[in-house]
C-alpha cells in the first residue's frame, strides 16, 4: 500500500498503524480508503495479521442477509446501518436518504413496527459488538470503531449498559 485514509481520529498510536499497513496513515479523512501500489496484486501473500477483514466481512454479509430477509422497515434500516457504522455517519437523515424517504416517514414507519431509530441503532451495535468480541479476531478498540464509536470509552460505557459487562470481560468470557 502507498497510503491509507481512515475516518476515525488518531488513536495516539499512529506508528502501530503505519507499521501494520506499511504506509503513511491519514486520520479523520472524509472516507476510508487506501492507495495500492500497482505491483501489489502480483506480490506473494505472507502471513496475515490477526485483523482479518475477510472474516469480518463474512460475518457482516451473513448478518446483512438475515436482515434483508426480514422484510421489515427495521430490517432495511439495519441493513443500511450495518454498512454505514464504521463511517461514523449513522444518523437518521443519512439512512432516510439511502431509503429515499423523508426523516418523518422513516420515524413513522418504525413507530408502526413498535421501535425507534435509536433502539434499532443501539440493538444493532450491541449484536455486532458481541459477535466481534466473541470471534476474538479484533481488539476492543477495533470493535468500538467497527460498530460506529469514535471513542473507545463511550463504547465501553454503552457495552456495559447493554450487557452488564465490560467489553474485555465479555471477550474473555467468550
Percent of the chain with pLDDT over 70: 82
φ and ψ at 34, to 5 degrees? Answer: -140, 150
> Do the strands 3-5 and 25-26 form a parallel or antiparallel pair, or are they unpaired?
parallel
pTM of the model: 0.59
d(CA 161, CA 105): 30
pLDDT digits (tens, 9 = 90+) for 5-23: 988 888 888 888 888 888 8
Looking at the domain 53-173, which fold is it?
Arc Repressor Mutant, subunit A (1.10.10)
For the chain, residues classed under CATH 1.10.10.60 are 53-173
Cell numbers 488518531 correspond to: 10
Amino acid at each position: 500500500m502507498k497510503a491509507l485514509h481512515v475516518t476515525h481520529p488518531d488513536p495516539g498510536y499512529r506508528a502501530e498503524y503505519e507499521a501494520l499497513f506499511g504506509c503513511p496513515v491519514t486520520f479523520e479523512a472524509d472516507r476510508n480508503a487506501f492507495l495500492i501500489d500497482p505491483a501489489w496484486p502480483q506480490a506473494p501473500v505472507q502471513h496475515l495479521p490477526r485483523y482479518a477483514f475477510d472474516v469480518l466481512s463474512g460475518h457482516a454479509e451473513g448478518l446483512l442477509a438475515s436482515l434483508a430477509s426480514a422484510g421489515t422497515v427495521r430490517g432495511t434500516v439495519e441493513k443500511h446501518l450495518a454498512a454505514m457504522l464504521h463511517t461514523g455517519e449513522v444518523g437518521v437523515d443519512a439512512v432516510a436518504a439511502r431509503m429515499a424517504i423523508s426523516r418523518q416517514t422513516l420515524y413513522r414507519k418504525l413507530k408502526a413496527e413498535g421501535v425507534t431509530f435509536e433502539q434499532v441503532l443501539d440493538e444493532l451495535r450491541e449484536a455486532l459488538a458481541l459477535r466481534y468480541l466473541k470471534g476474538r479476531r479484533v481488539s476492543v478498540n477495533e470493535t468500538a470503531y467497527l460498530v460506529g464509536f469514535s471513542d473507545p470509552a463511550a463504547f465501553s460505557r454503552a457495552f456495559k449498559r447493554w450487557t452488564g459487562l465490560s467489553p474485555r470481560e465479555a471477550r474473555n468470557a467468550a
